[in-house]
Structure 1
């Protein structure tokens, strides 16, 4: 794919993610206009809004997978891995603000892929508890959900915080709120 075509694709996907998160009924024409490309460019690549949405979800899953890989959740010390994860996942949440639950209901392969990513993070949180970084008396499902809400909050309610600052804030809140005493 040519460099300009690749750039246009990323722009369309990110614009689509943003607009579809705000209004799931956004038209392909509106997405094309907001992305600064011709409507035929979008229609040539995506047969429907649902096809575009599937591509957005795949891009979000791809980005999330890269973040989990780069955080080295199984090898790095827990505080380091947590911070790496947060520094990576906060921008992913900002770039791809769509709610993946909708896609998970419609696409079993995407659901399986997301479940595998979720299991990796959950295993990391269990490791953090086992190593004494998190309270052992708190259910890992609760810590998982709380971490997700903290990421979502800092990503969308505090957009002026850059990723490292946001990661510092979330890591401190998370480790001190759920940290072992």
Structure 2
């Protein structure tokens, strides 16, 4: 793929993600116009709005998978892995603001992939609890929900906060909120 074509594709995907997050019924023509490309360029690459949406979700899943790999959730010390994860996933959430749940209803392959990535994060949180970093008297689903909402909140409600600062804030809030209580020294 030529460099300009690759740039156009990336622009269309990012623009599509943003516009579809704001309004899921956004037309391909509106996405093309906002991306600054010809409508035929978008239609040549994507046969339908559904195909474009599927490509946006795949790009988000690709980015999420990269973050999970780089965080080293199974090897790095829990606080380090948590911070790496947060510092990576917050920008992904900002760049790809679409809700993957809507695609999961239509695409079993994407759902399986998302579920596998989600399980990796859940396994990390079980590890964190087993190692004493998280409270074990709180339901694991609640703990996961808290982490997910904190990421969503900082990513979308505080978009000007830099990822490292946002990761610090989320990690501190998370570990103090559902973190294991330590005995006072």
**TM-score interval, normalised by the smaller of the two chains:** over 0.9
Identify unmatched segments of 5+ residues in structure 1: none
> Following superposition of structure 1 onto structure 2, how do residues 1-181 of structure 1 map, counting pairs within 5 Å?
1-181=1-181
Q: CA RMSD in A?
A: 0.5
CA distance in 1, matches of 2:120, 2:142: 16
Aligned structure 1 segments of 4 or more residues deviating by more than 3 angstroms: none
Structure 1 residue 115, shift from structure 2 partner:
0.4
Question: TM-score, with normalisation over the residues of structure 1?
Answer: 0.99
Partner SS for 2:105? helix
Structure 1 residue 16, shift from structure 2 partner:
0.1
Identify unmatched segments of 5+ residues in structure 2: none
Deviations 1:133-159 (A, max 9, x none): 000111111111110000000000000
Partner SS for 1:106? coil
Structure 1 residue 56, shift from structure 2 partner:
0.2
User: In the comparison of the two structures, how many residue pairs are matched?
Assistant: 181
Question: TM-score, with normalisation over the residues of structure 2?
Answer: 0.97
CA distance in 2, matches of 1:54, 1:166: 29
Structure 1 residue 127, shift from structure 2 partner:
0.3
